[in-house]
Chain A
Amino acid sequence: MKEQDTINLLRTKSDSPELEYWASRLRVAGYIGVAGLLVIGLLLGGGYLILRRETNSLEDKKSVLITRINQERTKEGLLLSLKQRIGLASKVGETQRSLGTVLDTINRIAETDQLVAITRDEKQQIRIIVKTKSVEEAAGVIANVLRMVAAKRVINPQLVGLDLGSDGSVRVTVAFVHSS
């Protein structure tokens, strides 16, 4: 039997309990650190693989969708053109200035046979020239204008001119803005 022919005189363990305490703590911390690192590594690796696969799948899907949409370019062009045209029509419609309601209001101010001229300029200012047979009729016209103001159909009325004819006729010029 072979005898042990060496004697290990070196100390392999420390005699200091404090050092032994910290050594064990460090050992535990080391194991926990490595174990934690392994777990985190696995999680990150797994997460990366899943995300990579999903991203690739979504990119493929996007590519297919783009190809299919490109096949429908004609329809897209037609729809966009139609939307553009309808948008323009809507804007034009909003600025459309019908004279129908203006003429209705003017008919409440003066009779047709009293009217000489009606003007509407680009700034939507209305000017009417009315010729009445008498001052009383002219007063009636002005009263009608004021009635239209009270009814909020006319804004900012101005008596622009009042001419008395030798035959007693009166030429009244009134300007106002029609309330739309």
Chain B
Amino acid sequence: MMVIIKRFLKTYKGIVISVGMLLLTVLSIVYGVIPASGRIVMMMEQRMELLSETASLQNKLTVLEELDEANIRNSLLIALSAIPQDKSIPSIFSTVERTAVVSGVAIETITIGNPGSLATESAKKQSSEEKKLGSGILPLTAVITGTPKQIRDFLDTIVNVRRFLRISSAEITFFSGANATLRIGLEAFWAPIPASLGDTASPLSQLTEKEEALSKSISVMPSFSGAELGPSAASQLPGPRDPFAL
């Protein structure tokens, strides 16, 4: 048997070697080249992903390094005076009272809440509205007296002061003698500061032009709440260690 094999190999040595080489080539391609190619394609995709991530991180770092912390902190304090992080009821009272003084009207009553509505219905509506806006809503009612012009001034001013208040309802009753009474439903807004920053790799962009313009417009609104730039408000902002420590 061995003699036959040896004879065969001697006769067809060339062909055997060539077939062996071809077989080696095919096996190398199947078990080596194809898996290696797959691995390289995977590495290329990983590289593209890393490129994209590093570009995003670089953008974020550039945005952060260009930020003036003091400026941003100041802008945030001003924005917090418009929509505070809690209900801040004293600021509501002082805003309504000072607006009344500026307009020349007299306040008869200010009531927090809306006792005239069914509690269940108004609670439901408030909840869906709050979800839509993404902020808490505190309703209040005020009864105010003055001349029609003073009441008009009050109505114009109350929606243009820094503590944001929205008119939900209004009833003006005119009396003889050029006086009128305004019963006004207002809504004040508040929202807590986010409790977490999110992932380090999450993208971050600078303030857009629209956001800058809105921030500026808030800053020029008159502030009647009296609590916006005091030391107590400033101390509640993010410090160097924990961004959201209060």
Contacts and interface: CB of A to CB of B under 8 A. Distances in A.
Interface in A61-83: 61-62, 65-66, 68-70, 72-83
B237 interface: yes
Between A11, A31, A58, A86, the greatest number of chain B beta carbons within 10 A of the residue's beta carbon is seen for: A86
B17 A44 contact: no
A66 B200 contact: yes
Contact of B25 (A34, A62, A93, A115): A34
Interface stretch (A47-55, A150-158, A165-173): A47-55
- Chain A residues touching B, majority SS: helix
B134 to A, nearest CB: 6
Given A55-B46, A82-B76, A84-B194, A26 B15 contact: yes
Interface residues of B, number: 89
A126 B44 CA distance: 65
Contacts of B63: 79
Nearest to A94: B133
Contact of B173 (A11, A19, A99, A116): A116
A47 B215 CA distance: 52
Contacts of A108: none
B72 A122 contact: no
A133 interface: no
A27 interface: yes
B27 to A, nearest CB: 10
Given A48-B40, A83-B211, A66 B156 contact: no
Contact of A103 (B36, B40, B46, B155): B155
Interface of B: 7, 10-15, 17-22, 24-26, 28-29, 32-33, 36-37, 39-40, 43-44, 46-47, 50-51, 53-54, 57-58, 60-61, 63-65, 67, 69, 72-73, 75-76, 79-80, 82-83, 133-135, 148, 152, 155-156, 159, 164, 166-174, 185, 189, 191, 193-194, 197-198, 200-201, 204, 207, 210-211, 214-215, 218, 237-240, 243-244
